[in-house]
Chain A
Amino acid sequence: MCDTCGCNITDGNAHLVKPGGKLSLTASGNEAVSVLRSLLHENDHAAAHNRSHFDEHGVLAINLMSSPGAGKTALLEATIQALGDRYRFAVVEGDLETENDAERIRRHGIPAVQITTGSACHLDAHMVHDALHELNLDDIDVLFIENVGNLVCPASFDLGQHLNVTLLSVPEGDDKPAKYPVIFRVADLVLLTKADLLPVLDDFSPEKAEQNLRNLASEAPLYTVTVKSVLALESWLNWLKAEVKAQRARVAKGETSQPAIQPEGAALHESSPL
């Protein structure tokens, strides 16, 4: 399908792609086929396909990742309350064992699709694609994908989102970006959640958390928020408004975007949906 698309030929391995065909003989006489393709090639294609669905319908898709209980669903509920009059929201829930999170969202009159694919530790692009069939994308301005609470597995799977938001809740400690670099490195925005607990958990230093994030060469903004006060959500709500605007401008021009940090090969899929 796309043997020639060059996915995943990075600066680091380009020298391995030798001219003169893909096949060579090994010492034992076996045929060696050079491939150099992402292990998640199929997923990356499905993700690009999802993204083109979103763009066609003018939807901004945001993937929320964090450890279990960092406050993803609470943040969504607060966001719906604050901006529900302004934007049409929808949520895809990756809480694989229960319907709890989807029910919490639906209570606000917002469509929520529960992905029920067993006890997987992450969402993949195919699961999200199936969930999209249960939504009318024309009626949605912002689609949140609440990933499975896990600081490791979700980071490797592109879902077709435009942006990644990674949450770090104050009770988890300020060293988490150093311990889970992969998931914090791919974030376009990091939210320090449950900031109302900072006075109690006084060994948490937002400055250290930020330093640990910058050590990952991340330029992502880092906002301190809590759902306990609307005021303390303003930075996040303003960011969201700006991103909706940016997505509308892109859609008008027929352009798209994806999270700033991508496996280099995945970027090459943007022009070739399934």
Chain B
Amino acid sequence: MHELAICQALMDQVDQIVLEQHATGVAKIILQIGPLSGVEPHLLKQAFPLASAGTLAEHSLLEIKPQAIEVECSKCSQRTLAKPNRLVCGACGDWKTRLISGDEMLLESVELICEEEMNHV
């Protein structure tokens, strides 16, 4: 299960952002995960409590936004939705397509908790 390793890498990035922004904690972490990233959202969720324990993001919420797979056909130029193991053009059926989205493995944003006394600067 590589999701734990990926989750630990996420926690390092989040901790760094908390320090850079002089925040005191993290309310929410938002990710974008596409089906072709090779990462299973539910395994990531399972790994999260373990990976976040003892970090500045302990007890924060993890939101995972699933991403749709979209391909662009090199023959007819149409953009259509596709399935992970069928990335063919939905319009003309040609198999030579380019992936537009669906392989995301992104940290979209982090909602930080900033305490009052830190705001008067």
A interface list, Cβ under 8 A from B? 8, 10-13, 16, 23, 26, 28, 30-43, 120-122, 124, 152-153, 155-157, 177-179, 181-183, 185, 212, 214-217, 219, 263-265
Contacts and interface: CB of A to CB of B under 8 A. Distances in A.
Nearest to B12: A42
A157 to B, nearest CB: 7
Interface residues of B, number: 47
Main secondary structure of the interface of A (DSSP, over half): mixed
Given A36-B106, A153-B1, A179-B85, 19 more contacts: A12-B100, A13-B104, A13-B108, A16-B108, A30-B111, A37-B13, A39-B6, A41-B13, A42-B12, A42-B13, A121-B2, A122-B2, A124-B5, A182-B84, A215-B88, A215-B95, A217-B88, A217-B95, A265-B106
A40 B9 contact: yes
Instruction: Determine which residue in A10, A152, A212 has the highest number of CB atoms from chain B within 10 A of its CB, and name it.
Output: A10
Contacts of A34: 108-109
Interface centre among A23, A33, A34, A219, by most chain B C-beta atoms within 10 angstroms, is A33
Contacts of B97: 217
B36 A185 contact: yes
Nearest to A31: B112
B36 A39 contact: no
A217 B71 contact: yes
A42 B110 contact: no
Given A33-B109, A36-B107, A10 B31 contact: no
